[in-house]
Amino acid sequence: MIPERLQPLLEETAPLAERFAAAGWKLYLVGGSVRDAILGRSLEALDDLDFTTNARPDDIEAVVSGWADAMWDQGKRFGTIGLKKAGRTYEITTHRAEAYSPDSRKPDVEFSDAIEADLSRRDFTVNAMALRLPSADLIDPFGGLADLAAYRLRTPLSPDESFTDDPLRMLRAARFIAGYGLLPDEDLLAAVKRLRSRLEIVAAERIRMELDKLLVVEQPGDGLWFLVNTGLAEEFLPELPALALQQDPVHRHKDVLAHTIAVVEKTRPDKILRLAALLHDIGKPKTRSFGKGGVSFHHHEVVGARMAEERMRALRYPEDEIAAVRRLVELHLRFHGYGDDLWTDSAVRRYATDAGPLLDRLNELTRCDCTTRNQRKAAELSRRMDLLEQRIAQLREQEELDRIRPDLDGNQIMEQLGIGPGPDVGKAWKFLYELRLDEGPLGEDEARRRLDAWWSARHP
C-alpha cells in the first residue's frame, strides 16, 4: 500500500512516468523530493523534481518532446535534460557514475544502466533513495531510510571515496546537519578533516552557492560550527575561524565566533542579511588592541567592510550583493553612536538615507547584534531601537525620507547662479543636499537665498 504522503508526488509525476514506460525505459524519482516526501514535507516547497533513467540523453529528449512546455539541453553532456511542465521544473538524468580526477574542477561523467550504481555516487545515504515510477517501489540500497529515522549523516560509499569524487559534498554536509538535524558519523567527520584541502579544486561559484543554501536554513548554527570544527572553513572562509578569540583574555568576555554564529541564527533567513551577520565582525581580529579599559576594536566595521568585500569577490558574488553586504557591515555600529537625546532630525535623516533600501536589514542586524545575557542591557537597546524606528516613521510621513533631494534641481541651480553644466553644479547640489539632511525641507525661496550666499562666499 502506497503511503498517503507520497500520493501528491505520484499524481504529479504520473504523466511523465507513463511516457517513459510506454517507450520501454525505467524512470525513478531521486534526491531531495524523495527524502522530503518521506518526511512529510509539502510538495509546494520543492522548486524542482529530479529523475534518473536508463534512457540516454537523446532518448530522454524523444520521450518528453511535444509533452514539455519548454526544454533545454545545456546539461546534456552530463546526461541531463531539463524541462518545464505546468510551472514545475524537471531534470531528468541518465544513470551515471561521476568522479573528479585529482586535478580537475569538473566531473568526469560515465553513464550506467543500473540505478544502484547511480545511487552509490550520490552524496549522502538520505539522498541515495529512489522511487520507481509509477509503482512507487522504494529503492534504498544504502540504508537511507534508517539513517533518516536515526538522524544520522553518512555517505553511501566510504566518505573518502565520496568526498574525493566531489569535494563540495564536505561543505554540503554542513547544510544537512543544520537543515535536517542530522549528526555526522565519526568516519565522515574524520574524512572531512583529512580531505578538506581538496575543496580547492571546486569552482568558487559552486562553493558560494552551497554557502548560500546553508545560510538560509532556519537555524544554520550547527552547520557553521561543523565548518569551523572540521577545519573546512579555513579553505574558503578563513575569516570565520579567525573569530575564535577571547575578546578580553583577563575577563573572558564572550568570544567573537560564538557571538557571530548567535547573531546569524537570530536574523531571519534572508541571504543578504545572513551574510552581513556572518561577516559583520570579521574586522575584529585585525583591530584588536588592549589598553587600561580592556580590549577594543576601533574601526573594526570599516576594516571588516573591506574584508567582506574581498572575501565575497573571491567567492564570485554578484556586485550588487557585495555592495549590499559591505554597506551593512560598514553601518552596523552607526546606531550605537547616538543616545536618545542625540537623535536629532538631521541624525535620523542621515541614518535612514545612508542605509537607503537596506534600512530594514540594518535595523534587524543591529537588534540581533545584541547577544548579551544581561536582560537590562538587551531591553534598553530594544527600547532605543523602537524609538529610532518611530522617529524614522514620523519623518518618513513628513518628508518622504526614501526620496530626499535638495530643494533645487540641477537646472534650477544653473538658472539661479547663471552658470552652465560643470563641476560647480555638482558642488552646489551637494551643498543643498547637506542642508536638506541637516534642516529638512527649506522651500525653494530659502534654498535660492542660501545658494546665493554660498556662491558669494566662494566667489567674493
**173 and 116 share one domain:** no
Instruction: Look up the CATH number of the domain holding residue 244.
Output: 1.10.3210
Last residue of a domain, one of 204, 236, 268: 236
pLDDT of residue 293: 64
User: For residues 274 and 99, what is the distance between their CA atoms, to the nearest angstrom?
Assistant: 32
194 and 132 within one domain: no
Question: How far is residue 187 from each of residues 64, 153, 192, 456, measured CA to CA in Å?
Answer: 42, 10, 9, 78
Helices (H), 281-374: 284-287, 300-314, 319-331, 345-355, 359-368
13 Cβ contact list (under 8 Å, min separation 6): 29, 49, 51, 133, 134
> What is the spatial distance between Cα 178 and Cα 226, in angstroms, rounded to a whole number?
9
Burial class (CB in 10 A: 0-12, 13-18, 19+), 457: exposed
Same domain, 372 and 252: yes
- For 64, the grid coordinates are 518528453
Torsions phi, psi of 407, nearest 5? Answer: -70, -15
Cβ–Cβ under 8 Å, residues 199 and 161: no
What lies within 8 Å, CB to CB, of 416 at 6+ separation is 408, 448, 451, 452
Strand partners, 212: none
**152-155 contacts, C-beta under 8 A, 24 or more apart:** 152/182, 152/183, 152/185, 153/124, 153/126, 153/177, 153/182, 153/183, 153/184, 153/185, 153/188, 154/124, 154/125, 154/185, 154/187, 154/188, 155/123, 155/124, 155/125, 155/188
Residue 292: its H or E element: none
Q: Is 231 helix (H, G, I), strand (E, B) or coil?
A: coil
Whether residue 372 sits in one domain with residue 248: yes
If asked whether residues 275 and 384 sit together in one domain, one would say yes
Task: Using DSSP, state whether 67 is helix, strand or coil.
Answer: coil
CATH number for the domain spanning 46: value is 3.30.460.10
**Tally of domains within the chain:** 4
- What local confidence, expressed as pLDDT, does residue 252 receive? 46
Of the residues 211, 236, 261, the one at which a domain ends: 236
Please indicate, yes or no, whether residues 394 and 409 belong to a single structural domain of this protein.
Answer: no
Q: Among 25, 43, 18, which Cα is nearest to 33's?
A: 43
Residues 131, 189, single domain; the answer is: no
| CB 37, CB 6: distance < 8 Å | yes
Q: Give SS3 for 52.
A: strand
Here the CATH number for the domain that contains residue 188 is 1.10.110.30
* Predicted TM-score (pTM) of this structure: 0.82
- How many CB atoms within 10 Å of residue 291? 7
Query: Which residue in the block uniquely carries the three cell numbers 586535478?
Result: 103
Q: Pull the grid cell for residue 24.
A: 520501454
Residue with cell 550666499: 453
Question: Which residues are within 8 A (CB) of 360 and not within 5 positions of it... i.e. 6 or more apart?
Answer: none
How many other CB atoms are found less than 10 A from the CB of residue 343? 17
Shared domain for 82 and 10, answered yes or no, is yes
Last residue of one domain, picked from the residues 127, 143, 159: 143
One domain for residues 215 and 282: no
Do 229 and 252 belong to one domain? Answer: no
Domain co-membership, 190 together with 327: no
How confident is the prediction along the chain (460 residues), in pLDDT tens digits per residue? 567 777 888 888 999 999 999 999 999 999 888 898 888 876 666 668 999 999 999 999 999 999 999 999 988 988 999 999 988 899 999 998 655 555 555 556 678 788 998 999 899 999 999 999 998 899 999 999 999 999 999 999 999 999 998 999 999 999 999 999 999 999 999 999 999 999 999 999 999 999 999 999 999 999 999 999 999 999 999 999 999 875 544 444 458 899 999 999 999 999 999 999 999 999 998 877 776 766 667 678 889 999 999 999 999 999 999 999 999 999 998 887 666 566 777 788 888 888 888 999 999 999 999 887 778 888 888 888 888 888 888 777 766 665 677 888 888 888 888 888 888 888 888 888 888 777 778 888 888 888 888 888 887 6
Shared domain for 409 and 372, answered yes or no, is no
Asked whether 28 and 139 are in contact (CB, 8 A), the reply is yes
Which residue's entry shows cell 564572550? 254
Show the CA angle centred on residue 414, arms to residues 408 and 419, nearest 5°: 155
- Given this model, what pLDDT does residue 250 score? 42
Domain that residue 47 falls in: 4-143
Number of neighbours of residue 182 by Cβ within 10 angstroms = 21
